Amino acid sequence: MATTVAVAKQPKRGGRWSPWLFALPALLVYVAFLVYPAVSSLWFSLTNWDGLSATYKFVGLDNYFKLPHDPVVVTAVRNNLIWTVVTIAVPTIIGLLLAIALNGKVHGKPILRLIFYTPAVLPLVSIASIWGWLYNPQYGAINSFLRLIGLDGLAQPWLGQDSTALWAVMVPAIWLRTGFPMLLYLAALQGIPNELYEAATVDGASKWQQFWHVTMPSLRPAHYIVLALSLIDSFKVFDMIYAMTYGGPGTSTQVMGTWMYFNVFQYYQAGYGTAIAVVITLVAIAVGIPYVRSQTKEAS
Amino acid sequence: MTSIAPARVDLPLDTAAVEPVPTPPKGRRGLVITLVLIVVALFWISPLVLLVITAVRPLADFIGNGPLSWPDQLTWKNFSDAWDIGNFATTYKNSAILAAIKVPLGVLVSAMLGFALAKLRMRFRRTVMFSVFLGLTIPIYITIVPVFIMMRSLGATDSIFGLIGPYLAFGIPFEVLVLQSFFRQIPDEIIEAAKVDGAGDWRVFFTMILPLSVPALVTVAILDAVATWNEFLFALILLNSDAHKTIPVGLLNFQGQFANNNTGLAAGILIAVVPILIAYTLLQRWIVGGLTAGSLKG
């Protein structure tokens, strides 16, 4: 694989402008609908625009200075952090465990794999609907199950109280996000040469030692991809929160993405809202750059 | 969700076909692991199973016996109610038209850019590549205010056609990433040979590159179709009349209307997800292959 790529680098023909004719349609769309809007958000974040009026004033960095004094921003940052850590760590660990189990001599492997990946293809809004329905305080399956096994005391309005709402939203997120690491780890495990395990066995390594000294090091590229992609993905959280709790109860489940939306479309503070979006986007870019660089380098 | 995945698609292989890691013979231990996995899988899929059971029983039966009971009676009425009230005929049509226009267009322009990056001598190649891949990290919400203004001045709000541009733009980074790495594996020799015979870049692209890349194109198209079908935020801000809503936005409205009708709600959610579940089951080989194969070899 790697060698063919290296050999394949050869001088190519073609006019000087021809490549740009191929590149132009995609680049134009990309610039017009992604780059240009993202950059003009930088400008709006420096204004006091309300989102409706024809005029607005340039206010410099005022919107940014206001952020730390906004209690909801503090909540949102905290929620984003919890969200990032939990929805990366838990799906990665469950995904790895499932992959290891599936990699053994298991019956019905394709159907099991199919089941575990299924939530990942569903629309986020439908996942939110399904779980909102499961969490229903009166008729939801979760409270019914708790009552059925005699734990009536644990039945509660999961999405309706500050103490549980964010965690209740993270459960479906975990449900949805476990499939991808599982598939990736499964593919990686199947790529580990048999000889490594044979050699380790000859050297008298126990199964546990083999796991830490053969399996885990071999999975390093998979860890990297899973972590990089989950990290990039976790900053984009919006749909689930919006559709399940609408940021509530109160503002307890607001994240930066939803708080941005509420400021722009509910409170008519488009300037302030875009400042929130700019901050989280800069963090997302900073975190994503190593991955983007690795993909660019590999391709060159 | 599926908007990003690692680079490089090889021919999608059924990953279950290879099992190199030594494990004890399929004996008692394999059976124990299988049993444990089956229990976990049942638990994992139980929300969807409950959804199906609830959708096919009358509301009175559901309330009388509770959500975890087996239905006494079966009915299809929930589906017809949900279909009418949820406006699914319209939202289905809108989502389907959108995907039918957006996906082929997106794959085509991405394949063209991927070809230029992988096989043509292009100036600023690495800069272009880096800038396009950087799009993977950009959250949609940073662009919604300017996109909204842009669409309003073009008169394209409240129309699914206003969504095509933003959807294309946010799909391009991933599609280009995967396709250019696939094109890179096509040997330069056959392209050179065609050029000696007088073929231009366009002919090479349409008669050689595209036919040789069908597996990658199919995978990218499927993942892109899933992402398009599921997109929510742009649709939420740009579409406001019921006649123009897509499935995710329509479903959200529907959820509000059916808050007290659990069986109708379950039927509505199923109506919204069944096509994607069927497509996934039939095409899962391509999805699984596309997400994993080759991504770990580098």
Per-residue confidence band for B26, with pLDDT thresholds at 50, 70 and 90? low
pLDDT given for residue B14 in this prediction: 44
C-beta of residue B135 within 8 angstroms of C-beta of residue B170: yes
Residue B28 lies in a domain: no
Q: Cβ(B230)–Cβ(A128) under 8 Å?
A: no
B173 neighbourhood in chain A, CB within 8 Å: 30
Residue B261, in any domain of the structure:
yes
Interface test with B, best of A1, A21, A33 (most B CBs within 10 A): A33
What parts of chain A have a pLDDT lower than 70?
1-15, 298-300
Is B44 a member of any domain?
Answer: no
* Interatomic CA distance for residues B170 and B142, integer angstroms: 12
**Does residue B284 carry a pLDDT above 90?**
no
What is the Cα–Cα distance from B267 to B265, expressed in whole angstroms? 5
* CA-based nearest distance A157→chain B, Å: 15
**Residue A118, both tokens:** 């299924």
Report if residue A229 sits inside a domain: yes
pLDDT in tens, B104-115: 999 999 999 999
Spell out the SS3 assignment of chain B: CCCCCCCCCCCCCCHHHCCCCCCCCCCHHHHHHHHHHHHHHHHHHHHHHHHHHHHCCCHHHHHHHCCCCCCCCCCCHHHHHHHHHCCHHHHHHHHHHHHHHHHHHHHHHHHHHHHHHHHCCCCCHHHHHHHHHHHHHCCHHHHHHHHHHHHHHHCCCCCCHHHHHHHHHHHHHHHHHHHHHHHHCCCHHHHHHHHHCCCCHHHHHHHHHHHHCHHHHHHHHHHHHHHHHHCCHHHHHHCCCHHHCCHHHHHHHHHHHCCCCHHHHHHHHHHHHHHHHHHHHHHHHHHHHHHHCCCCCC
CA-based end-to-end distance of chain A: 14
Task: Give the pLDDT mean for B67-80.
Answer: 88
Structural domain includes residue B19: yes
Q: Please answer yes or no on whether A32 and B165 come within 8 Å at the CB atom.
A: yes
Instruction: Show the domain range for A190.
Output: 45-299
Are the Cβ atoms of B136 and A23 closer than 8 angstroms? no
In this complex, the residue of B15, B29, B40 whose CB is nearest that of residue A187 is B15
Q: What is the pLDDT of residue A42?
A: 95
Nearest CB to B169; choose among A19, A30, A189: A30
pLDDT category, B163, cuts 50, 70, 90?
very high
Task: Tell me the shortest Cα–Cα distance from B198 to chain A, in angstroms.
Answer: 11
Q: What's the domain range around B228? A: 15-23+81-292
Q: Which residues of B touch A273 (CB under 8 A)?
A: 145
State the total domains in chain B: 1
Taking only the tens place, the pLDDT of each residue in B199-247 is: 889 999 999 999 999 888 988 998 899 899 999 999 999 998 889 999 9
Chain B CB contacts of A105 under 8 Å are 19, 23-26, 29-30, 33
Average pLDDT over residues B28-39: 87
Put simply, the answer to whether B137 touches A134 (Cβ < 8 Å) is no
| Percent of chain B's residues with pLDDT above 70 | 88
| pLDDT value for B291 | 66
Whether residue B70 has pLDDT greater than 50: yes
ipTM: 0.87
Quick check: is B43 in a domain?
Answer: no
Assigned domain for B56 exists = no
Q: What is the pLDDT of residue B18?
A: 45
- In sequence order, what are the residues at sequence separation of 6 or more whose Cβ sits closer than 8 angstroms to the Cβ of residue B274? none
Is A40 within a domain?
A: no
The residue in chain B having the minimum alpha-carbon distance to the alpha carbon of residue A132 is B255
CATH of the domain at B204: 1.10.3720.10
Question: CB–CB of B159/B186 below 8 Å?
Answer: no
Closest by alpha carbon to B169, among A233, A32, A136, A279? Answer: A32
Residue of A117, A122, A177, A196 best to disrupt the B interface, most CBs of B under 10 A? A122
> What pLDDT score was predicted for residue A9?
42
Q: How many CB atoms lie within 10 A of CB A154?
A: 12
Q: Do A14 and B120 touch (CB under 8 A)?
A: yes
pLDDT given at position B23: 47
Residue B61 inside a domain? The answer is no
Cβ-defined contact of A238 to B130 (cutoff 8 Å)? no
* In a domain? residue B140: yes
Q: What distance in Å separates residue A163's CA from the closest CA in chain B?
A: 23
**Would you say residue A195 lies in a domain?**
yes
Question: Would you place residue B128 in the very low, low, confident or very high pLDDT band (cuts 50, 70, 90)?
Answer: very high
Residue A155: which CATH number?
Answer: 1.10.3720.10
Considering only the beta carbons, identify the residue of B31, B135, B187 that sits closest to A30.
B135
